[in-house]
Structure 1
Amino acid sequence: MYRDTYIAPEAAAEGQEREMMMRLSTQHMRANVSGRAIAGALMAALPIGAAAQDAVTAPPPATQQSDDAVPADLPTTDIVVTGTRLGSSFNAPTPVTSIGAERLDALGITNVGEALNQLPSFRASSGPAAQANLGGNIGARLLDLRGLDPQRTLVLVDGKRFVPSTVQGSVDTNLIPSSLLRTVDVVTGGASAAYGSDAVAGVVNFILDRKKEGLDGEFAAGMSQRGDDGNLFASLSGGMRLSDRVHIIGAVEYEKLEGLGTCTSRSWCNSQTLILGNTPGAGGLPANLIIAGVNTSTMTPGGLINRSYNAAGQAIGTTATDPLRGTKFLPDGTPGQFQYGTLVGPLFMLGGEGQGRNGFISALRLKVPLERVSSYGALTAELTDDVTLTADISYGRVKGTVDGAIFRDFNGTLLGRIKRDNPFIPAAVASAMDANGAASFILGKAAFDLGPGRATSTTETYRGVLGVEGRLSDRWTVNGFYQYGRTNFTQRATNLVNQANLLKAVDAVQSGGQTVCRVNADAISSNDDPSCVPFNPFGEGQYSQASVGYITGNGLQHTVNEQHVAGIDLRGELFDLPAGPVTVAVGAEYRRDTVDGTADPISAANGFYSLNGSALSGGVTVKEVFGEIAVPLLRDSAFGYALDLNGAVRRTHYSTTGSVTTWKAGLVYEPVEGVRLRGTRSRDIRAPNIFELFGPQTLRSIGLSDPLNGGLQTNPFVITGSNPNLSVEKADSWTGGFVIAPRSGPFQRLRLSVDYYNIKVADAIGALGAQTLVNRCAQGATNFCSQITRDANNQILQVRDVILNSNALKTSGYDIEFQYRQPIGSWGELNAQLIANITKELTTVDALGAVDRAGQTGVRTGTIPGVPDYVLDGVLTWTVGKFQLTGHGRYIPSGIYWTNFVGPDQDGYAVTAPNSVDNNNVPSRFYLDMTARVNVDTGNGRTFQLFATVNNLLDRDPPAMPGPSGGTNQILFDPVGRAFKVGARFHFGS
């Protein structure tokens, strides 16, 4: 019907299975069923799915035809096997999870990246809800398999690399249309020997329905219960035969997301739950409190005097006795008395004034607006009986907008000390300065009146592929292709605070009866700036527009990624063994990736307070040769039903880091019918990408705690960026598991797979996170201390969080998939499916030791995120007649907020310790979504479907915990609440 219609009958599949397994060969099996019907039939009947897709995923689209024969007049297609180059005759030992387009339809999901990030084996680390105040590829949906970061997950389309969308080499799945998908295969194990660099965590292969017939369309719209998060989606896709030998397909999609407002739009975020520092043990409280009602203690929107100084530059009195401290400025610029709360620290306090105007979170968007267009076209032409030509062309555009951080300064780093002769100082404050011998003071300000900087990024990706497949004989085929891809990225930013100009504009004096910038009134001519216009920092909006024009500016970044790929491979059967043919594949590939970028001069010097663009130029050339072999040892013997061995090797030369070898060895053993064992051992690699090698260094300001100063909270600048001396990271991976899929008897509708994985990455490339660097330095890892700059008072001014080969990464765990289909007579049919991931460890190892982030479901700014101990994802579909009702449940167990904190319920807790916290627990969450679908058949090959979806049916708020994007880990937990979507789909044609 729409994207997946038919499911092959169990009985027919059982009767044909043995013959099918013996006949599958590298000559591309042609069967008289559609590609999706093949996938459905094999996933329903074979113990490892479509000859390699081992674990069944999305519940089959049960229809009234589920017990009938599949029509014989549907177009033919090839079986695509992911995880191997050997073709459809080989049972790959690497676990492969497959989700079909039916899952998207059943759950009312219009973006395949969103569907994939729901799977438990992925760490949801990017998307419209994770952008916070950062620029770059705004709203990009990147795939982060195993929590090892997106750059370690290789993304393919029909077995070929998709052109990178980011300078880090990652692929934004927004650019791949969902409406042409037949299935998406996720290889949950190392696959570098088969596909090359970046497949450390695994491979995601988007397989298109290249034999699609007819015309399909979809329209959907929705919004949250609170009237925001509006979304609109429309797609049109189709395919047709131009002749007996030529077939074309095409699709175009449009999606618009309005996003969410600021932190004040949701009570869980507006509660201002943050980390509040405390003197360890003071008042019987730990060093850190995660508590609601935290306001800023040294910044207000109108300005707040924090410390005053005499003419010698010395602080007057103590913090408690400073005569000017606590003088705030009302919106009109007049002075008033600031209302402090309790537990007052250098950044935050509990209670007091400022609710709803906390410069660290109040202005952050909880979800950025996004607009995307994606299109794809493909042609398949059988030039002769033995030669087939394929041509693909695609275009995608993603446009997103983000608000940068509100300008904040609490210690005079950016505004400088306000001197007594500044004419903007109100008379009452000037008199108090004179009475107390104050020559200057520090003004703390969160400039809500200036508003945030705003960046709009546009990512356009073009890709073309030309391929030729030739059959050399009944046993050998050769394939060659050339691919060109280009990504144009442009970021335009406005209202950015120019730090150098701000410092000059705030330092104003009276000269010749006029208020001017000091640099133009002093005796030094070399520092003159004729364009400088004095800026009044007191109050809100008390400045002139000319001064705003001087202290703010616009940023621009333009980056072009280009990729050329060419490859050839030869596949065939060497000779026959009693158990079947020995198959091999050998080939070579060439790839050239280049990045060329420019940025405005101020951004290039990190001169803006936020959203600095970056210039980047560099290139990498890759040359590879590879080989793979499969040896069938047993078929129907006394020692087992089947035994296959597999090996692969790849030699790769990088123009930047030299040569490296990857390999894989695996086996599949079926001791009895319906029970299959499998295992792999592999060496995988990831070479540093262009951004990591040649990228710029960028600057931003974040809040940190300083353990060397008793947990003192501070707001330093953090430099992130590249390192040209990086080397290749190497991973040792192995997987082992079993699949149970009885072909007859009372459990023939049951499918179960369990796989263990273990990945160890040496010389891992990445940034540790600024807070992690500060903590590890304090704990004794002195090699990290050199990355931290402090002032004369030992306060942190700057942290260099640049990319290093400093880590080792280790992760291990279990993937579990279960499916059961049960007819219930006149009541229809139930399809149940459960996917689970159990993470035993996700460990980063550095010079000081190991940090295991398995079970960390909170995320603190400037730190590496973790993953839950386990995630359960279940789908239950009830089909009766033309009606389908699907429930989707996702459970995230309770976890810890941060691995560096120790709470009262954890071993090693001491209230006087600097890492003590009152509560290090993040509550569990269960989310329930419901989708109802009604199918309408009007005859003449025209079918319609109406659907309605309620997401987060129970309206569960996320846990109110501190996070980099507001008040929670809002990429793991749902920030929207209950939301609704309605839509319609149609199919015209055969």
Structure 2
Amino acid sequence: MTRILRARSTGAWLGASVAVLAWHALATAAVAQSAPAEAQPEAAAPAPHETEIVVTGSRLGSNFNAPTPVTAVTNERLEALSITNVGEALTQLPSFRSSSGPAQQATAGGPVGARLLDLRGLDPQRTLVLVDGRRFVPSTPQGTVDVNLIPSSLVQRSDVVTGGASAAYGSDAVAGVVNFVLNRKLKGVQAEVVGGISQRGDDGNFFASIAAGGDLSSRVHLVGAVEYEKLDGLGDCYTRAWCANQTLILGNTAPGAGGLPANLIIAGVNTSTLSPGGLINRSYNAAGRPIGTNATDPLRGTQFLANGTPAPFNYGTLVGPLFMLGGEGQGRNSFISPFRLKVPVERVSSYAALTAELSDRVTLGVDLSYGQVRGTVVSNVLRDYDGRLMGRIKRDNPFIPASIAAAMDANGVASFVLGRAGFDLGPSYAKTRTTTYRGAVSLKAEVSDNWTVEGFYQYGRTEFRQRSYNAINTLNLPKAIDAVNVNGQAVCRVNADANPANDDPNCVPFNPFGEGRYDPRAAAYITGNGFQNTTNEQHVAAIDLRGTLVTLPAGPVKLAVGGEYRSDRIVSTTDPVSLVNGFWTLNGSALSGSVNVKEGYGEIAVPVLADSAIGHALDLNGAIRRTDYSTSGAVTTWKLGAVYEPVAGVRFRATRSRDIRAPNLSELFGPRTRRTIGLTDPLTGLQTNPTVITGSNPNLSVEAADSWTVGAVLTPSGGFLGRFRMSVDYYNIKVKNAIGTLGAQTLAERCNQGVTQFCALITRDPTTNTILEVQDVYLNSNELRTKGFDIEFQYRQPLGGLGSLNAQLLANITQALTTVDSAGAVDRAGQTGFRTGTVPGVPDYVIDGLLTWTKGDFQLTGHGKYIPSGIYWTNFTGPDQPGYSITSPTSVDNNRVPSRFYLDLTARVKVPVVDGREFELFGTINNLLDRDPPSIPGPSGGTNQILFDPVGRAFKIGARVRFGS
């Protein structure tokens, strides 16, 4: 009922938000661009140089009005908003979820800073990326494409198909397709330089690009581009006030106690069982049993100051197994302080394309590209609150201060658990480098006036290198901690006991009491450096025949048939410690696998009506593809579509398709990584800090999707109405046997609800029943469902001597984003919070607006984005939600995330120069209103960085030059 009520109210909220957006944009500045940043390609004839390029969503050429909704983002949008990366421009669109990038990968390893496209919130693996209609080589270990590697300066437009297109282009096109259309006819030179910085003096960035093209002869044309970008990133959580307030989830271990729910989202949360110098959490007798209770334990609550001196620990209130409210530790919360809010990234990308007319009917094409992305990610500092990593500190440890040793003797304490946050050791971190090479050769021949055949071969190679540093070696750490006194000298127990088989001559005892009081050789022993080298190789060969089958009274029947062969192979090597998951975080993995794919397809377009008494136009479209995978067998995909135009300027369209995605090599054979997270155990209600293993699963099967879209396009002509266009499309996608991760917290919740197959992925301590490890690996997690509306609106208004205004509005309404398993359904539509260890959601709706004022060579552009209020987490229930009970383990004091409106402003001025030369200066203020993100728990501590801006007000200035046509 809640979902129904919310869906019914969305229209009213959308209307109100549109008004708010328009008011903000008009009141703050007149806004933005002489040509629409995005348009429906079928509403206007293609430019002459585009007729050689396949329209995205169909292989039948640009003269057919495809029934699948297509949004075109032109290079004008990037220039109007001073965006230097086409991936950033695309993820601004409401139909995308920004699931990766410099801000989104602040705590993860893998390809740091990669920009992966995620349509519909269905994950990047379900969005197919093409360049000029051809599949681009995978550039990440997950088999997705990092669009950092595609030069934005050579991209003429980006076509976004928001519907299934597997029948036309193959596997992965479940959520849709993004096709980068390159400017292969460029003549002259164009260059751009941009620099920026935030108002707070960080997030520095620099970008430079140059693109050029020209005729080598009357039949040979060459274009090329090179660009360089450097992003400095942000510091850790304490560099922003909204994060430094340490807003985290604090568990009330007895739900309802003190009149409070089970969970509190509250500022001022410190760690209750960790301190930088060490904190004694529990004492044990010689039999290994706890002494007394927490309240009567003789040593509990003794911390060690930086110099190793014992002192009482100041507990706050609502003390739990991980966190407390207030008390000691402000500014040194080890669950948030190491992680950067935005990682530094450096990239280079280049592309060259040669077109040669070998004869009047035969054309040769050669494409070469190279790109490299480097990034650095900061991971965890040592966190051990229950002895899982260090083990218990025994009485004969020579580093125990004398006063504590005496207290142990007096109270029969044989050992204790020391909670330690290793700030003095520093965090582990990783540097990554992703390098992609791609080459393609094509031959196109006009075999008759109506038929064309084209074949191509493509080779791609991606080399991923990760080097991790200062990673805690969980094999060595307990040996270095467990020291004894031998002749007045501290030595590792393994080298002093009677068993020579466990000796380790490299072991150096580590002093855990205080900060930095250890032997540097001990620090070197318990930390280490790791690596992962992964190579992806892809070969693609394809042939395509298309042309006119027959001409009907309504027009020609178009047919395309073809076949494709693809081979993908992945090989990865790693260090010996990572091979046994010996590092606490950032483990590499050894793997090897390959898959071969053979495909055959056909597509037909049939015009039924043209200027008839019962309609201006009616076109039908159908496609079918048979795909045979060496790993998962053969499968058939298909598509049916129709476009009906009852009168000129009013068009209705619909598609129905079956789409598939086979598990890629990374999902089947890829790396598994290890990290630790804060997690609430739904069985006990206690907070814990388990190890989470994420990565591959060789037992995956193919996922299949049933998709359909239906919509209407209004493109009236003449007078006032001729300046207006609008489209509304409804989509519905159901993915069965969907491949993905559910998140450690979700797995624990589902296990507790009775899903026994998920319980097998969770390891508990046999004595305390505490969760020790969760395998959050890829699963065929049953079903994904999403449905909603895409809305686009454009209007142009001449202002006479004052210039002109151009307005554009894009909106997405998500009615459902549901994961279904055997325990039921979880709908993440409307979830704008992002809890660590869970799957992110999407807002109920998102509105993106542009308003441009143009007068002569001057333009002023305003860009606004509105994100409505949402819920923090679907598994929580707040006081304003149905079913709330203060005694429920899922109750929370506030499950709401406030709305945000962001406004950007760009000014541009063009200075024409003689002989077709042009010079342009521009400046941009991003987040003009300096809106902080909502202060909520997130993967890096303080917010949902997938959705909200962590930077604040920031500035860019730059210049562009153009020479030639």
TM-score range with shorter-chain normalisation? Answer: over 0.9
String of CA shifts for 1:139-190, please: whole Å, max 9, x gaps.
1010010000000000000000111011211000100000001100000000
Moved more, 609-618 or 102-111: 609-618
Residue type of the partner of 2:944? N
Residues 183-222 of structure 1: pairs in structure 2 closer than 5 A:
183-222=157-196
Corresponding position of 1:538: 513
Contact 1:372 1:396 survives alignment (8 Å): yes
Residue type of the partner of 2:847? L
Corresponding position of 1:178: 152
| Alignment pair present for 1:844 and 2:819 | yes
Distance change in 2, residues 1:500/1:76 (3 Å): closer
**How far apart are the structure 2 equivalents of 1:513 and 1:330?**
25
**How far apart are the structure 1 equivalents of 2:204 and 2:774?**
39
**How far apart are the structure 2 equivalents of 1:972 and 1:42?**
22
Residue type of the partner of 1:692? E
**How far apart are the structure 2 equivalents of 1:751 and 1:263?**
44
| Alignment pair present for 1:853 and 2:807 | no
Residues 208-287 of structure 1: pairs in structure 2 closer than 5 A:
208-278=182-252, 279-287=254-262
Cα distance, 1:352 vs structure 2: 0.3
Corresponding position of 1:414: 389
String of CA shifts for 1:832-871, please: whole Å, max 9, x gaps.
0000000000000000110100000001111111000000
| Alignment pair present for 1:708 and 2:683 | yes
Distance change in 2, residues 1:850/1:191 (3 Å): same
Distance change in 2, residues 1:41/1:286 (3 Å): closer
Contact 1:497 1:609 survives alignment (8 Å): yes
- Select the residue among 707, 711, 718 that pairs with 1:733: 707
Number of equivalent positions: 930
**How far apart are the structure 1 equivalents of 2:625 and 2:94?**
30
Contact 2:42 2:65 survives alignment (8 Å): no
Contact 1:47 1:742 survives alignment (8 Å): no
SS at match of 2:242: helix
SS at match of 2:666: helix
Corresponding position of 2:420: 445
SS at match of 2:438: strand
Contact 2:51 2:61 survives alignment (8 Å): no
Distance change in 2, residues 1:115/1:223 (3 Å): same
String of CA shifts for 1:861-899, please: whole Å, max 9, x gaps.
111110000000000110001110000000000000000
Residue type of the partner of 2:962? H
> Displaced runs of 4+ in structure 1, greater than 4 A?
39-47, 74-77
**How far apart are the structure 1 equivalents of 2:758 and 2:775?**
9
Corresponding position of 2:934: 959
**How far apart are the structure 2 equivalents of 1:239 and 1:654?**
40
String of CA shifts for 1:505-539, please: whole Å, max 9, x gaps.
00000012211000000011110001100000111
Moved more, 737-746 or 691-700: 691-700
**How far apart are the structure 1 equivalents of 2:70 and 2:40?**
16
| Alignment pair present for 1:773 and 2:779 | no
Cα distance, 1:965 vs structure 2: 2.1
Corresponding position of 1:473: 448
Contact 1:476 1:573 survives alignment (8 Å): yes
String of CA shifts for 1:657-693, please: whole Å, max 9, x gaps.
0000000000001000100100000000000010111
Corresponding position of 1:782: 756
| Alignment pair present for 1:373 and 2:368 | no
SS at match of 1:105: helix
**How far apart are the structure 2 equivalents of 1:934 and 1:271?**
42
Cα distance, 1:971 vs structure 2: 2.0
Contact 1:569 1:586 survives alignment (8 Å): yes
**How far apart are the structure 2 equivalents of 1:43 and 1:448?**
49
String of CA shifts for 1:319-339, please: whole Å, max 9, x gaps.
111110000000111111100
String of CA shifts for 1:117-148, please: whole Å, max 9, x gaps.
11000011111001232211001010010000
Cα distance, 1:605 vs structure 2: 1.2
Corresponding position of 1:606: 581
Cα distance, 1:44 vs structure 2: 7.6
SS at match of 2:660: strand
String of CA shifts for 1:400-459, please: whole Å, max 9, x gaps.
001111110000000100001101011111111111111110000010000011100000
String of CA shifts for 1:380-403, please: whole Å, max 9, x gaps.
111100000110000000000011
Corresponding position of 1:140: 114
Cα distance, 1:603 vs structure 2: 1.1
SS at match of 2:88: helix
Corresponding position of 2:278: 303
Contact 1:45 1:743 survives alignment (8 Å): no
**How far apart are the structure 2 equivalents of 1:229 and 1:679?**
44
Corresponding position of 2:489: 514
Distance change in 2, residues 1:231/1:46 (3 Å): closer
SS at match of 2:153: coil
**How far apart are the structure 1 equivalents of 2:896 and 2:460?**
46
| Alignment pair present for 1:936 and 2:911 | yes
**How far apart are the structure 2 equivalents of 1:521 and 1:944?**
76
String of CA shifts for 1:277-330, please: whole Å, max 9, x gaps.
002000000000000000000000110000011111111110111110000000
SS at match of 1:747: helix
Residue type of the partner of 1:421? D
SS at match of 1:500: coil
**How far apart are the structure 2 equivalents of 1:138 and 1:560?**
16
| Alignment pair present for 1:754 and 2:747 | no
Corresponding position of 1:97: 71
Residue type of the partner of 1:250? G
Cα distance, 1:571 vs structure 2: 0.2
Cα distance, 1:75 vs structure 2: 7.1
- Select the residue among 372, 389, 392 that pairs with 1:397: 372
SS at match of 2:502: coil
Corresponding position of 2:430: 455
- Select the residue among 634, 650, 656 that pairs with 1:681: 656
SS at match of 2:387: coil
Residue type of the partner of 1:838? I
Residues 758-907 of structure 1: pairs in structure 2 closer than 5 A:
758-791=732-765, 792-907=767-882
Cα distance, 1:989 vs structure 2: 1.3
Cα distance, 1:696 vs structure 2: 3.8
Residue type of the partner of 2:670? G
Corresponding position of 2:16: none
| Alignment pair present for 1:665 and 2:640 | yes
Corresponding position of 2:11: none
**How far apart are the structure 2 equivalents of 1:456 and 1:334?**
37
Contact 2:37 2:73 survives alignment (8 Å): no
TM-score (norm 2): 0.95
**How far apart are the structure 2 equivalents of 1:727 and 1:299?**
43
**How far apart are the structure 2 equivalents of 1:319 and 1:153?**
52
Corresponding position of 1:630: 605
What RMSD, in angstroms, separates the aligned Cα atoms of the two structures?
1.4
Residue type of the partner of 2:763? T
Residues 10-29 of structure 1: pairs in structure 2 closer than 5 A:
none
Residues 477-492 of structure 1: pairs in structure 2 closer than 5 A:
477-492=452-467
Unaligned runs of 5+ in 2: 1-33
TM-score (norm 1): 0.93
SS at match of 1:405: coil
Residue type of the partner of 1:461? T
Distance change in 2, residues 1:181/1:46 (3 Å): closer
- Select the residue among 574, 590, 593 that pairs with 2:565: 590
Distance change in 2, residues 1:102/1:42 (3 Å): closer
Residue type of the partner of 1:96? V
Contact 1:47 1:740 survives alignment (8 Å): no
| Alignment pair present for 1:335 and 2:310 | yes
- Select the residue among 477, 481, 497 that pairs with 1:502: 477
Cα distance, 1:42 vs structure 2: 13
Corresponding position of 1:57: none
Residue type of the partner of 2:318? L
**How far apart are the structure 2 equivalents of 1:782 and 1:511?**
50
**How far apart are the structure 1 equivalents of 2:39 and 2:564?**
36
String of CA shifts for 1:788-833, please: whole Å, max 9, x gaps.
1111221111112222213200000000000001110010010100
Contact 1:951 1:980 survives alignment (8 Å): yes
Contact 1:76 1:211 survives alignment (8 Å): no
**How far apart are the structure 2 equivalents of 1:215 and 1:754?**
39
Corresponding position of 1:640: 615
**How far apart are the structure 2 equivalents of 1:187 and 1:738?**
15
Cα distance, 1:695 vs structure 2: 2.1
- Select the residue among 165, 172, 187 that pairs with 2:139: 165
Moved more, 79-88 or 587-596: 79-88
